[in-house]
Amino acid sequence: MKFYTMVSNIDSFLDNAKEQYEFWKNSYRKGTKEYSNHVSEIIKIFDLKGKNKFHTENAPKYWAGDISKRNPKFIIVSLNPGLREKDQKITSVATDSEGWKTYMKNRSNWFSGTRFQDSKYWQKHYKFFCGMNNKIPEEPMDGDYLLKNVLNLNLFPYHSNQSENFPSKFTVKQLEVVLHHLALVFDLIEEKKPRYCFFNGKVWKTLLIKHQLIDIKFSEPKLFKENIQGGKFSMYFGKKRKTRYVIFDKFLSRTHYYGVTDDDLNSDIPNFIKERLGS
């Protein structure tokens, strides 16, 4: 295999995304299995099963938002883009394949589409990001507010229906798949200089704390809530230069299982963070 789909010798996040987009587009237009075979190889390396398997036909989605914006206030790094089962046939494959400029536009326009308003992920995160700016959430969600303030990056650019099948410790081969792209993610974060950078999900505890893959010293876990079964939702805090870093040890969109309410998302969690890192 020449290279894993998300890894290349390109030196910037956006250039790497463009190279992999072109790889997907050429494979799609020619009707070959070259791109999907590479994604299938990654599925095999991580032993992904059932709904956790990456979709092999969609364009890679490295980010959502306006990546050309110089200094977004917030960056959130997630594991991979989700895809509801009922939306599997409703993709932007045809328009994505029109070219890089159209693809870039689609990534920004996500916040103005119907699927954005239906997204459970963004319904939760929108409340949180409003709270970080002391803003009252609106209905329907204010996509322009998110476009102005938030850039969403993905570790893996491949859609899946679930993201719960990743290891608590990565093998050498698994790390080989993510390391170069992870370096590009952090290069982009340092270039953008957000006020806050959030990492969403337990995989980040594995990569950034257990494997210590970056030079940021994080705090011990700070417990925010515990459910009646003893399940805990905690955060880790760190700083580097002017950016404040927060790791959520669970997916923020699934914290209702730990007793987290909409009021928590819009008020108590932002206050919990600001008390420890400043506003």
Residue 6 has pLDDT above 90, yes or no: no
Q: pLDDT tens digit string along 71-87?
A: 999 999 999 998 866 65
- Overall average pLDDT of the 45-55 stretch: 93
Contact between 195 and 151 under an 8 Å Cβ cutoff? The reply is no
C-alpha span between 141 and 217 (Å, rounded): 35
C-alpha span between 18 and 21 (Å, rounded): 5
C-alpha span between 121 and 140 (Å, rounded): 14
C-alpha span between 100 and 59 (Å, rounded): 11
More confident site: 75 or 8: 75
Confidence of residue 279 (pLDDT cuts 50, 70, 90): confident
Burial tier of 219 (Cβ tally within 10 Å: 0-12, 13-18, 19+): middle
- Overall average pLDDT of the 103-124 stretch: 90
Amino acid at 267: S
Q: What is the pTM of this model?
A: 0.92
Q: pLDDT tens digit string along 122-175?
A: 999 999 999 999 999 999 999 999 999 999 999 999 999 888 878 888 999 999
> Long-range pairs for 41-49 at CB < 8 Å and ≥24 separation?
41/1, 41/4, 41/5, 42/4, 42/5, 42/6, 42/156, 42/158, 42/177, 45/173, 45/174, 45/177, 46/165, 46/166, 46/167, 46/174, 46/177, 47/165, 48/160, 48/165, 49/165
pLDDT at residue number 86: 60
Q: pLDDT tens digit string along 174-221?
A: 999 999 889 999 999 999 999 999 999 889 999 999 998 888 999 999
Q: pLDDT tens digit string along 129-142?
A: 999 999 999 999 99
